[in-house]
Amino acid sequence: MAAGVMGLAADHAAFELKGELTAWLKARGWTVRDFGTHSPEAVDYPDVVLPCARALAAGELQGAVVACGSGIGAAICANKVPGVRAALCLEPEQAALARRHNNADCLVLAGRLRSTAQNIALLEAWLAASFEGGRHERRVRKIHQATRC
């Protein structure tokens, strides 16, 4: 994915990770739109993830990275927004496949389950991959049809 505007959102469990990801992205030419949280104080992840996911669905962002302690809550939350394809990834191969096969536009990270270096490796793999289309396009289209029910 070519550098553009990336949305970032994290709860308190991934607050420090969000700061590291922000610096990493900016060093590579990305503009970062930070949806919070802005301190390590406890916050409910829907309060930061939903605005980020909505901005992604509205076309205001080229991609998004959301995180919480396990990544599970952030993934569930982001995927509630129609048009968003959020993938919780714990291994670089998952992150690459999320882009190549599912055209995931939102990477979900687990702040407590992976180190900063491991999460950056996931981000790097996700950004380096491109959607392959083909048979995968049909599957992604079916996912979007389901959200219009």
Contacts of 111 (CB under 8 A, 6+ apart): 10, 13, 14, 15, 16, 17, 67, 68, 69, 71, 119
- Separation between Cα atoms, residue 95 and residue 7, nearest integer Å: 17
Select which of 68, 77, 89, 106 is catalytic: 68
- In the residue annotation, 68 being an active-site residue is answered as yes
Select which of 12, 77, 89, 101 is catalytic: 101
* pLDDT computed for residue 148 by the predictor: 62
For 28-71, write each residue's pLDDT tens digit: 999 999 999 999 999 999 999 999 999 999 999 999 999 999 99
Q: Which domains does the chain have, with CATH numbers?
A: 5-146 (3.40.1400.10)
For 89-146, write each residue's pLDDT tens digit: 999 999 999 999 989 999 999 999 999 999 999 999 999 999 877 778 878 787 777 7
Question: Which three-class secondary structure state does DSSP give residue 65?
Answer: strand
Residues 115, 121, 125: CA angle, nearest 5 degrees: 150
Question: Which three-class secondary structure state does DSSP give residue 10?
Answer: strand
- In the residue annotation, 77 being an active-site residue is answered as no
